[in-house]
Amino acid sequence: MPFPSDTNPDNEVFALLEKERIRQTSGLQLIASENFTSPAVMHATGSILTNKYSEGYPGKRYYGGNVHVDDIESLAISRVKQLFGAEHANVQPHSGASANMAVYLGLLKPGDTILGLSLDHGGHLTHGSPANASGILYNFVSYGVTKGDERIDFDHMRELALQHRPKMIVAGTTSYSRRLDPEPFKAIADEVGALLMFDIAHLAGLVAGGAHPNPVPYADIVTFTTHKTLRGPRGGCILSKAQHAAAVDKAVFPGSQGGPLEHVIAAKAVAFREALDPSFKVYAQQIVKNASALAEALSKEGFRLVSGGTDNHLMVVDLRPFDAECTGKVAQLVLDEAGITLNKNTVPDDPRSPFVTSGVRIGTPSVTTQGMTETEMPLIANFIARALRHREDASAIAGIRQEVADLCSRFPAYPNGL
């Protein structure tokens, strides 16, 4: 029986997909949590595995026909364990949020106390935001960054840990530009007898490529997404010490998820193999070099970098010294018009709401995948500065958009097409 789309193609959806392909490849993608994944990863994501149900784990499935699925999931598990040196891996979480919630479910009880970095100082919704299930179900206490150097305030965090005796400490960030050394987190967790969870959603590719310290030897649990610096498909993953393996697996399935997305798990396996390739180390180092160069160039253009700069793939830019009237919301809209995609972001203790903000977050994973280096970063900083200075001038913005497109055409994300 033919599929309806065989004879009546869905031009509506596919025309929109084509527009999105053009948007992604003709503009600068500077969202720190995005990347261009490889054609091989996309191929696996769009593969025949989308047809298959496979609740359970390799060798212990509820449905038949999982012989090849078992091999694929086992491959993903063994590759990711090798990549990070982990004792146990669960590759089924649909996302980073699902991974984090499964960890809390598996290792804690509702109402337990957890320490997490506050959202407006660079943490994540699932690190205890009152708007998120993590903050609704668990007693999160937030630590933050210092007012002076805008780096994690470990003295205050230790005081909070001694005062609240958390069951778990969550280390991990979404908009924090500095190294996250595992040792101080581990020391405080050990002092108060707390479990240590590291959420390296943003940093996974840098850790895999050796450009950032690996928390796996220190932490009870490490969670991450596979689609950011790691450059895989959209999805999540949990690594743990062997002693937590059964609790983690039970919390993912049947605790919080049903059928795993085996097409995405196949794509994760492909991405893990790519990250094991020696060239990935070069890529990870280049992301960091590009971020440093971009931060320096933005400073020269008059922007203030939160914490003064970056050690990783991203920077948070405080727009106020550049132009007190230019909010993050306005900057995001203007830069969109100029073909530069980034996101508004609060700065620490931002007087403006998260819908308006005083800053933007900028990341270099995507432009680095395109092959840009330190040479191109001052150009990008200049596009951003000029667009924001001339934000009322439509022809100036159109001109910058063309310059952006010209730059991107010299660095195609997919030189062999898609």
Backbone angles phi, psi at 140, to 5 degrees: -80, 135
| Shortest Cβ 13–ligand DSN spacing (Å) | 24
Q: Are 123 and 140 in contact (CB under 8 A)?
A: no
Q: Which of 90, 129, 142, 174 binds ligand DSN (CB under 6 A)?
A: 174
Region 59-98 residues binding ligand DSN, contact defined as CB under 6 A:
96
Cα 16 vs. chain centroid, distance in angstroms? 25
| Shortest Cβ 241–ligand DSN spacing (Å) | 25
Nearer to ligand DSN, 88 or 124 (CB): 124
Region 106-125 residues binding ligand DSN, contact defined as CB under 6 A:
124
Q: For the chain, what is the radius of gyration of the CA atoms?
A: 22
> Nearest to ligand DSN by Cβ — which residue?
33
Q: Is 29 in the site for ligand DSN (CB under 6 A)?
A: no
Nearer to ligand DSN, 229 or 286 (CB): 229
Nearer to ligand DSN, 174 or 223 (CB): 174
Residues identified as active-site: 53, 55, 199, 225, 228, 234
Region 283-322 residues binding ligand DSN, contact defined as CB under 6 A:
none
Half-sphere exposure of 258 (CA within 13 A, CB side): 3
Number of other CB atoms surrounding residue 243 within 10 Å: 10
Backbone angles phi, psi at 302, to 5 degrees: 105, 10
Nearer to ligand DSN, 57 or 104 (CB): 104
Please state, in angstroms and as integers, the Cα–Cα distance from residue 331 to each residue in 299, 360, 364, 386, 395, following that order: 17, 8, 18, 11, 17
| Shortest Cβ 343–ligand DSN spacing (Å) | 7
Q: Are 103 and 221 in contact (CB under 8 A)?
A: yes
Nearer to ligand DSN, 54 or 129 (CB): 129
Contacts of 192 (CB under 8 A, 6+ apart): 161, 162, 165, 166
| Shortest Cβ 174–ligand DSN spacing (Å) | 4
| Shortest Cβ 313–ligand DSN spacing (Å) | 11
| Shortest Cβ 380–ligand DSN spacing (Å) | 19
| Shortest Cβ 39–ligand DSN spacing (Å) | 24
d(CA 155, CA 371): 41
Q: Which of 29, 33, 92, 346 binds ligand DSN (CB under 6 A)?
A: 33
Nearer to ligand DSN, 49 or 102 (CB): 102
Nearer to ligand DSN, 223 or 286 (CB): 223
Nearer to ligand DSN, 77 or 291 (CB): 291
d(CA 371, CA 326): 31
| Shortest Cβ 363–ligand DSN spacing (Å) | 9
> Which tokens hold the place of 63?
């449905």
Tell me, by CB under 6 A, how many residues bind ligand DSN.
4
Region 204-233 residues binding ligand DSN, contact defined as CB under 6 A:
none
Which residues are near ligand DSN by CB under 6 A? 33, 96, 124, 174
